[in-house]
Structure 1
Amino acid sequence: MKYDLVIVGAGPAGLSTAIKLKQLDKKNNTNHSVCVIEKGSEVGAHILSGAILDPIALNELIPDWKNLDTPVVTQVKSESFSFLTSNKNFNIPDFFLPKDTKNKGNYIISLGNLCKWLAKYAENLGVDIFPGFTAKDILFENNKVKGVITGEKGVDKNGKKSDLYEAAIALRGRQTIFAEGCRGHLGKKLIEKFNLYENNQFQTYAIGLKELWEVNNNTLNKGDVFHSIGWPLYNNAYGGSFIYKLSDTLLSIGFVVGLDYKNPYLNPYEEFQKFKTHKKIKDVLNNGKRISYGARALNEGGFQSLPKFSFPGGLIIGCNAGTLNVLKIKGTHNAMKSGIIAAESFYSDSIKDINSIELSEFNKKFKNSFIYKELYKSRNVRPGFNKGLLLGTLNAFVDQKIFRGNAPWTLRHHIKDNNSLKNVKNSKKILYPSKKDNVYSFDRLTNVSFSGTNHKEDQPNHLKIIKEAIPIEHNYEKYLSPETRYCPAGVYEIINIENQGPSLQINFQNCLHCKTCDIKDPLQNISWTPPEGGEGPRYSNM
């Protein structure tokens, strides 16, 4: 199948690209064929974010969105930022908070619902959207990207074709836009093949865990925003919490942990559950029930980790390229703007009949955009926390309140996330409650059942172990199998310790597609690949 433009990923970046291109067509009486391929069963099924939306890019893309039936209705009305101890809550005065952490004029949203709406808007403009199809691999010709190849369906665990077999399809485009979200598996290949990090530093990441709750109390009002740092992480890792009141009865609560943590005993999921047992948080969740759960890796590298975006035959954009702003704790607006720039770059090249091998103009347009400016101003905040919570907070204050993001230096990221773990022998054991109260805290597998995740068991395991000996001889011996703790879905399990010695069991059916294993595995021995199209989580209102 041939298109002028092929887009991988129906998130905010990919859909904004498609919409902007068709808007330019309509304005100038031209026509370009556009398709968007999405691995989730439907648009939004794999989308997970806090989320607070800065509407700057939405205003540019669809200026009259407020007059339409957009799922962007809850404006931020009040916000607080707290430092937690194990039993107390200290509000941080507004004076000490950087301007970019504040949310005046922003909206609390479900990013999944916004993407569903954007998809319908795009289809009405003539965009073809194909949910339930993975972009399994990249189509190369003469070292140029020419499109993508979809994954086969109906292949059993032994690699044999079943009665339900569907062959792969080649989607060819004049250019291909990769908007897969954080740690896209094709983006990872492109970064390596075209050396896109040659002039900048490596990417750094965090894992974000989130639950959606129905509540029946007035502790928080619709439009209220709460963030915290401190307990339970303290200096064990960079991270913190968020609580956003979406409506009178619905709130999202989440916890973010930087994946450069050092202690192999640390368990991000357990830290999240522990956080919810704080008295302050219990008051917020009182008389409520959890109705959904999910997890997703997110970029934290910022300005220092921006790649070269263009390469022969395509672009890498949005969170696939690491445009999230850690200081603002949001990235949707930047993802959407990068999609707008991608469409403009392609359209300009196309109507001038240049048909460039590479859309190099994108890199120049990006440097002139608000994305580049805001990422530059926040560049020193995240690296400052490599020295711990106290020094990191002091650095953020000096950098943002005194230098206003224009310090005459740029801090560097310290170490890749997969290289940060200490040997278990040199690490302090972290003890977590063995039982959950099932009111505020829940065991991992029970929570996974609230993600809607599903994978056919009779298919090849999509979590590839590159060298079979490493999980035991290296990970188990040195770090006591950290994959059993950093995975938010209980995918990795050590079995037969007493009978036949330890071995790694992979319960790939539980996978939430968060990509944490692909990032944090010490020797990069786990490779996340897409399962059959349409499988994985089925998030609702997340």
Structure 2
Amino acid sequence: MPSAKTSVDSSNPDAIHYDLLLVGGSSSNLVLAHRLLDLAKLSGLTVSIAIVEKGPQFGAHIVSGAISDPHVIAKLFPDYRENGFPIEGFVAKSHLSVLGEAQKWDLPEAMIPEGLQKDGHAILTLSHVIRWLADQLQEKAKDLPNVTLDLFPGFAAQEILYEGETVVGVRVSESGSLTEDAIFARCTCFGDKGFISKDLIAKFNLRPNPQLWSVGVKEVWEIEGDYQGQVWHTLGYPVLDGTFGGGFVYGLSAKRLAIGLIISLDSHNPNINPQQRLQDYKAHPWIQGLLKGGRLLKYGAAVIPEGGYYSLPTRFMVNGALLLGDALGVLDAASLSGVDRAMETGYIAAGLLHDAFLQNDFGLLDAYQQQVLDSFVGRALYTSRYFRNAFLSNGRLLGEYLPAVAASVDERHPWFGSLRYGLAKPIQRATETVVALTQILGKTQRTEPAVYTPCHEQIQPDFSPRPVVVNAHAFTQTLYPRSDAVFFAGTKYHEGNRHIEEFSAETCQRCIATYEKLGKATPCVSDCTAEVHRVDVLRDLHVHAMSLENCIQCRTCEIVCPKMNLRVNPTYEGSGPDFYGL
């Protein structure tokens, strides 16, 4: 819910003005800035640029897998392999595996969809990449007298400012002083995961088909073995309740492992418990073998826009502003590719912005949307446009078929499990499966758009997931309760940092009563990836309360709140988690 004060007069002589304002230290914004500086060096364009970042340092609030095709980086830095660009390694072997409760089945290479064949791709710690890009950007600007570049870590965009229907900048503090705390710009670019761009999208009704969100929970471990270059993406255990999701294990440099779980928030299950599911994942005997003797270094979480093509905004820009990267939602869920897609939107935007500033013609930005759609970003999203819809429209895929195959993996007969499922009700199920597979693989002839329901509307309060057996012999020192995991997220807050809004206490009380009657926690409590939301008893009233000092800024609670009664705002004064190295 945006603040009421959104229309301002930017002509105040004391106000801070730039040509270009980039909101968020995202990969899309930093690539945009690099490309624009390269073009300005060639053309002599005089341009002033500001980047505001809510984290205390660039990269501090970044969580990502990430396995990425480095082709966009190679366009900016042809010598990236030699110039210090931070890479954990290149994928030597990519696996797609199905997990039962005790066993693992690696699919034959011929069965792995092309988008999940990651051999040769770069393994990245994205927070390292972001910090490096920011540092290199400042060095690059020093040699360009025609460029003014100011980076503002610890300054979060709290509100979008307008003159009429034109975006003119943002407010960057809680005080509301529009002379001291506003940054104005001829063009503002949003590359955030919805913290502030959601207000722009809502104001102009740019996303009539809602975004679908998942939450990724991730840990980085120091281990005894060396698995650098080995990559596993997994299906099955512990996500066997019909929810779309899966796990990953990436072998990093210096004997480290990245281990994570991605769970979609459009689940029927009101109590997903992402952080606990990650502990269940780690308890699998296979992962226990990887972790033996290791120690946890970092923990964190972030939401991921995964609706794809049919969740894209109807317009990628409005007067005075562009949407990039995660604000657009260009991640391709079919190939788990988001970083290079986000970077490409910034690369494209930079070329158009350069010409717009040089010619003083912002009508040139009208080409931005079509150029993104014509690029590899748009082409891939169009090919996989029904990927998420295939699982939503055919609940048997995740609700019956995947659990059956996972059970057969434990019986060491995965092929038999696949056939057993396919032979039952052969005509009906074969037809459904063929239709779903054509959509998943991007081979469908469908033309009508997929229509989505907001994530919170998919929740069924009385949903009862099938029980999952967790390895009772897991090493307890490898598993962490949520309260302890927060320590490894490095949260630090200033006094009075009230960054999560609760709009109506009475609405929360009614929600609590609904779920307590069913013997369940409310989604905000169960699905919190830290230890923020809780239920307190005050004078016999069960009320919603928050320990905001634990928040890791993932926005999950806002997305799963059944009554849309919460809003997560960006932290200010550089507060929040420390994800650098995650």
Which of residues 503, 508, 515 is equivalent to 2:543?
Answer: 503
Does residue 323 of structure 1 match 2:330?
Answer: yes
Does residue 99 of structure 1 match 2:114?
Answer: yes
* Contact 2:88–2:253, Cα closer than 8 Å, also in 1: no
Does residue 463 of structure 1 match 2:469?
Answer: no
Q: Deviations over 1:279-328 (max 9, x none)?
A: 11111111111110000000110011111210011111101110111111
Query: Structure 1 residues 27-36 or 411-420, which shifts more?
Result: 411-420
Change (3 A) 1:6 1:333: same
User: In the TM superposition, what are the counterparts of 1:358-377 in structure 2 within 5 Å?
Assistant: 359-377=365-383
TM-score (norm 2): 0.85
Q: Deviations over 1:485-504 (max 9, x none)?
A: 1110011011228x623111
How far apart in 1 are the matches of 2:564 and 2:220?
A: 32
User: In the TM superposition, what are the counterparts of 1:129-148 in structure 2 within 5 Å?
Assistant: 129-148=151-170
Shift of 1:412: 1.9
Q: Deviations over 1:32-53 (max 9, x none)?
A: 1111110000000000001112
How far apart in 1 are the matches of 2:179 and 2:131?
A: 27
What's the C-alpha RMSD, in Å, of the aligned pairs? Answer: 2.4
Matched residues, percent identical?
30
How far apart in 1 are the matches of 2:285 and 2:451?
A: 35
How far apart in 1 are the matches of 2:541 and 2:88?
A: 56
Gap regions ≥5 residues in structure 2: 1-15, 142-148, 403-432
Change (3 A) 1:87 1:229: same
User: In the TM superposition, what are the counterparts of 1:368-447 in structure 2 within 5 Å?
Assistant: 368-386=374-392, 387-388=394-395, 390=397, 394=433, 397-399=437-439, 404-405=442-443, 407-409=445-447, 412-424=450-462, 427-428=464-465, 438-447=476-485
* Contact 1:418–1:519, Cα closer than 8 Å, also in 2: yes
Q: Deviations over 1:186-205 (max 9, x none)?
A: 2110001111124xx21000
User: In the TM superposition, what are the counterparts of 1:170-181 in structure 2 within 5 Å?
Assistant: 170-180=182-192
How far apart in 2 are the matches of 1:146 and 1:446?
A: 43
Does residue 490 of structure 1 match 2:531?
Answer: yes
Change (3 A) 1:431 1:251: closer
Q: Deviations over 1:464-500 (max 9, x none)?
A: 0111111121244146411111110011011228x62
* Contact 2:101–2:468, Cα closer than 8 Å, also in 1: no
- Aligned partner of 1:160 in structure 2 is none
* Contact 2:223–2:293, Cα closer than 8 Å, also in 1: yes
- Aligned partner of 2:18 in structure 1 is 3
Query: Structure 1 residues 300-309 or 385-394, which shifts more?
Result: 385-394
How far apart in 2 are the matches of 1:413 and 1:345?
A: 32
Amino acid at match of 2:132: W
Change (3 A) 1:362 1:476: farther
Does residue 215 of structure 1 match 2:223?
Answer: yes
Does residue 188 of structure 1 match 2:226?
Answer: no
How far apart in 1 are the matches of 2:446 and 2:111?
A: 21
Q: How many equivalent residue pairs?
A: 519
Amino acid at match of 1:420: Q
Shift of 1:439: 1.7
How far apart in 2 are the matches of 1:264 and 1:142?
A: 41
Shift of 1:411: 6.2
* Contact 1:265–1:430, Cα closer than 8 Å, also in 2: no
Say which SS state the counterpart of residue 469 (structure 1) adopts: helix
User: In the TM superposition, what are the counterparts of 1:463-542 in structure 2 within 5 Å?
Assistant: 463-478=500-515, 480-496=521-537, 500-542=540-582
Shift of 1:365: 1.1
How far apart in 2 are the matches of 1:227 and 1:377?
A: 21
TM-score (norm 1): 0.91
How far apart in 2 are the matches of 1:149 and 1:476?
A: 38
Amino acid at match of 1:505: A
Amino acid at match of 1:85: G
**Structure of greater Rg:** 2
Change (3 A) 1:409 1:439: farther
How far apart in 1 are the matches of 2:39 and 2:452?
A: 43
Does residue 240 of structure 1 match 2:246?
Answer: yes
Say which SS state the counterpart of residue 221 (structure 2) adopts: strand
User: In the TM superposition, what are the counterparts of 1:277-292 in structure 2 within 5 Å?
Assistant: 277-292=283-298
Q: Deviations over 1:338-357 (max 9, x none)?
A: 0111111211222222144x
Amino acid at match of 1:319: D
Say which SS state the counterpart of residue 67 (structure 1) adopts: coil
Q: Deviations over 1:199-242 (max 9, x none)?
A: xx210000000000000025xx2100011101111233111100
Which of residues 335, 359, 366 is equivalent to 2:342?
Answer: 335
Q: Deviations over 1:130-153 (max 9, x none)?
A: 101111111211221011111147
Say which SS state the counterpart of residue 483 (structure 2) adopts: helix
